Amino acid sequence: MTSEASRRTPTLEDVAKAAGVSRATVSRVVNGITSVDPRIRTVVTQAIEATGYIPNAAARTLVNRRSGTVALVISGSDGSADQIFRDPFFGRIAGGVVRHLRSGGMHPTLMLADSDQARRDAVDFVRRGNADGALLVSTHAGDLLPRLFVDAGIPAVLFARPAVPVPISFVDLDHEAGAALAADRLADLGCRRVVTIAGPADLPAANDRLSGFQRAMERRGVPYVDVVRGNFTAESGEQAMAELLDAVPDADGVFAANDLMAVGALRVLHERGRSVPGDVALIGFDDSEPALMARPRLTTVAQPVEDMAARMTAILLDQLGTPATKLTSVVFTPELIIRESA
Amino acid sequence: MTSEASRRTPTLEDVAKAAGVSRATVSRVVNGITSVDPRIRTVVTQAIEATGYIPNAAARTLVNRRSGTVALVISGSDGSADQIFRDPFFGRIAGGVVRHLRSGGMHPTLMLADSDQARRDAVDFVRRGNADGALLVSTHAGDLLPRLFVDAGIPAVLFARPAVPVPISFVDLDHEAGAALAADRLADLGCRRVVTIAGPADLPAANDRLSGFQRAMERRGVPYVDVVRGNFTAESGEQAMAELLDAVPDADGVFAANDLMAVGALRVLHERGRSVPGDVALIGFDDSEPALMARPRLTTVAQPVEDMAARMTAILLDQLGTPATKLTSVVFTPELIIRESA
DNA sequence: GAGCCGCGAGAGAGCGCTCTCTCATCTCTC
DNA sequence: GAGAGATGAGAGAGCGCTCTCTCGCGGCTC
């Protein structure tokens, strides 16, 4: 091996020379094409070993038009960068995506779309061929991110139903059913003065949880439910609970649209001398870490985020495999996790 | 425009034809080379607009040998995939990395290295040219991930000092100083019967926090400190606190090596009828979400994770710019956040 | 007005790989 | 033993881009 060859990273050509065969044959061996004489295969394999050859991804991508990468785009309202990544939701999604992608030797490229510019950049990133498709996690309503990808003709799958109608595949949770689970539990427990802390009005998921809860409660004979909206943070949960308690001092059941707000509510309940679940039954949503960490441990509606993320990934990979673009949407069924708070 | 041209994504060649110039000229315009006649530049720009041209990343990477991507490798003990992503630490690191990388038009590719195979895959990923360098987040001791990257000659920066000596750049926190901050606070508060919940013995950071605390406490006239080790989870914090309380019923000060364990300790303290901070002062470490969520709010040693992640990224980009491989290590100074628990 | 310099555009050779097409060799069959 | 059909290796044309080198042309000096 010349000193020149040893300073460059070896190419197919180098391996071919070392093995005394053509570039094409080495390519066949590398890609596992079976129509290669076993003896030649052995020689080539040894040459690959000896030269320390490793295929160049860019060259492959250039001819195959496949990058083996998907973009994982986290869309948030403008300037919410840090906020988003601190949300345990993000980690769970990332986990599900990575785990599923790995099995196919692929990896996600993380992109934050928290401004119009960033959203356009994300689209361009894929258009340039850096990724074969996109996984979109949209956390706010009126988000034009899904639209941008659809218009660009990029294979993409959304986490959560799009806030505005867009022809795109997605995975979602049956939020209404989840909220109904909570309502039924509260009703079973004999709660009659029930209140709820809802999420932001511009989020479809939040509205579904609210309407699902109200409807189920009505079915169970509780036609009117006081509601105050929060923004999914513990602080907003505290404030909402305080307002609710002022309005309905004898409340005996609370449904919070997510665990964080439930934790906030729990604090206020304690401060105001209510025992949980003794005086007031409390149910959260998500089954996140805080639900488990709270005392009493929170009864909550579980959302299989990792599985949903994995499924979202599966749908995308499927679309990448078959260019025939048929839309798929999968709605997951929530589950009530009964712990101590209700 | 022929129908053939409109079905392919346009290339430089197409733009050149449309503008009536050479491929090279279009390339100059696209890349902002200044030595182009303004009039020609205008014509070319219009042609780019008209054709909807977008550069092909793979082709660029092939000749430039730059992918514009870095690998963000999260290394964990085998099979700890889900666990890792649930840790709020991960999100904070991701946030810091993404934010900094974005300014240079780059993006991280997320990789999970939770097995020997996965670690090798991560190295190969970069060797193939998929990424220009790597950001390594190693969460367990004896991790050979840094070694693998160094041996492969890949530019890489580590989050946290390597457990075993490896010639690699890194960012870290002065854990000893942080623990000393906690010790001094406890001493200032007049605590004399002090105990500590340490982290896993195989983590350098955990040991630094322990020794830093012990040493500072000694300086302040408390030569002996009872210690029980946990594994950084709230549950282990509960258990450790229970043991500690059995051994030292009159303990008046507790330092937990992270917030999660402090939260666990807080629960046991309450259960056993100790008021915090009245009877027992409690200090955590990290300044994570749970510290803020606890009641009383946790006094804790803050670790500027986002800034550290950003700095780690900066160091990597710097190394990518100047191939002259000089090692850099930056140690951040912790800060005591005084809240209600101590 | 002839020669020189410098600016700016074009030509063309790769970057490392895949894949089709061609061609040589080997094994059957009758 | 000759022709047909497999089988498997090699040749070569790109994939879309960058970048060096070459060359034309305008303005300058003396």
What pLDDT digit, counting tens, does each position of B195-220 carry? 999 999 988 899 999 999 999 999 99
Q: Is residue A325 scored above 60 in pLDDT? A: yes
SS3 of residue B337 by DSSP: strand
Q: Please give the nucleotide, over all strands, whose C1' is closest to the CA of residue A12.
A: C16
Burial class (CB in 10 A: 0-12, 13-18, 19+), A80: middle
Measure, in angstroms, how far nucleotide D3 C1' is from residue A39 CA.
29
Question: Residue A85 corresponds to which tokens in the numbers above?
Answer: 């990544």
Q: Is residue B6 scored above 80 in pLDDT? A: no
Q: Within chain A, which residue ranges are assigned CATH 1.10.260.40?
A: 12-64
Which pLDDT does position B5 carry in this prediction? 39
Average pLDDT over every residue of B224-244 = 94
Question: Residue B178 corresponds to which tokens in the numbers above?
Answer: 């942080």
CATH of A175-302, one of 3.40.50.2300, 3.40.1280.10, 3.40.50.200, 3.50.50.60: 3.40.50.2300
Which pLDDT does position B4 carry in this prediction? 40
Which pLDDT does position A207 carry in this prediction? 94
Extract the runs of DSSP E, i.e. beta strands, from chain B.
69-75, 107-113, 133-138, 156-159, 169-173, 194-198, 226-229, 253-256, 281-286, 299-302, 329-332, 335-337
Measure, in angstroms, how far nucleotide D6 C1' is from residue A28 CA.
19
Between A2 and A33, name the one with better pLDDT: A33
Which pLDDT does position A322 carry in this prediction? 82
Give the nearest partner residue to B92 out of A85, A98, A263, using CB atoms: A85
Name the residue closest to the C1' of D18 by its CA: B63
Task: Order the strands of the B299-302 sheet from edge to edge.
Answer: B226-229, B194-198, B253-256, B281-286, B299-302, B335-337
Q: Is residue A230 scored above 80 in pLDDT? A: yes
Q: Within chain B, which residue ranges are assigned CATH 3.40.50.2300?
A: 69-173+306-334, 175-302
To the nearest whole Å, the CA of A204 is away from the closest chain B CA by: 25
Which pLDDT does position A5 carry in this prediction? 39
Smallest CA–CA distance from B59 into chain A, residue: A62
Amino acid at A85: F
pLDDT digits 0-9 by tens, A44-79: 999 999 999 999 999 999 999 999 999 999 987 776
- For the CA atoms of A272, A276, A279, A285, the dihedral, rounded to the nearest 10 degrees, stands at 100
Amino acid at B69: T
Which pLDDT does position B7 carry in this prediction? 63
| Strand B335-337, strand B299-302: pairing | antiparallel
Average pLDDT over every residue of B192-196 = 95
What's the mean per-residue pLDDT of chain A? 91
Give the nearest partner residue to A92 out of B86, B105, B111, using CB atoms: B86
Q: Is residue B161 scored above 60 in pLDDT? A: yes
Q: Is residue B8 scored above 80 in pLDDT? A: no
pLDDT band at B79 (very low <50, low <70, confident <90, very high): low
Amino acid at B145: L
Q: Is residue A141 scored above 50 in pLDDT? A: yes
Q: Which of B262, B209, B254, B210 is CA-nearest to residue B236?
A: B262
B293 and A289 within 8 Å at the Cβ level: the answer is no
Which pLDDT does position B322 carry in this prediction? 82
SS3 of residue A16 by DSSP: helix
Q: Is residue A296 scored above 80 in pLDDT? A: yes
| Pairs across A and B, CB distance < 8 A | 138
B94 and A111 within 8 Å at the Cβ level: the answer is no
Between A15 and B2, name the one with better pLDDT: A15
Which pLDDT does position B289 carry in this prediction? 84
Partners of A98 on chain B (C-beta within 8 Å) are: 81, 85, 110-112
Q: Is residue B2 scored above 80 in pLDDT? A: no
Question: Residue A328 corresponds to which tokens in the numbers above?
Answer: 């798929």
SS3 of residue B154 by DSSP: coil
User: Domain A12-64, what fold?
Assistant: 434 Repressor (Amino-terminal Domain) (1.10.260)
Measure, in angstroms, how far nucleotide D10 C1' is from residue A51 CA.
22
To the nearest whole Å, the CA of A88 is away from the closest chain B CA by: 6
B289 and A86 within 8 Å at the Cβ level: the answer is yes
User: Domain A69-173+306-334, what fold?
Assistant: Rossmann fold (3.40.50)
Q: Where are the alpha helices (DSSP H) in A20-137?
A: 23-30, 38-51, 57-64, 81-86, 88-102, 116-127
B62 and A67 within 8 Å at the Cβ level: the answer is no
What's the mean per-residue pLDDT of chain B? 91
pLDDT digits 0-9 by tens, A261-286: 999 999 999 999 999 999 999 999 99
Task: Order the strands of the A69-75 sheet from edge to edge.
Answer: A329-332, A169-173, A156-159, A133-138, A69-75, A107-113, B107-113, B69-75, B133-138, B156-159, B169-173, B329-332
Measure, in angstroms, how far nucleotide D4 C1' is from residue A35 CA.
21
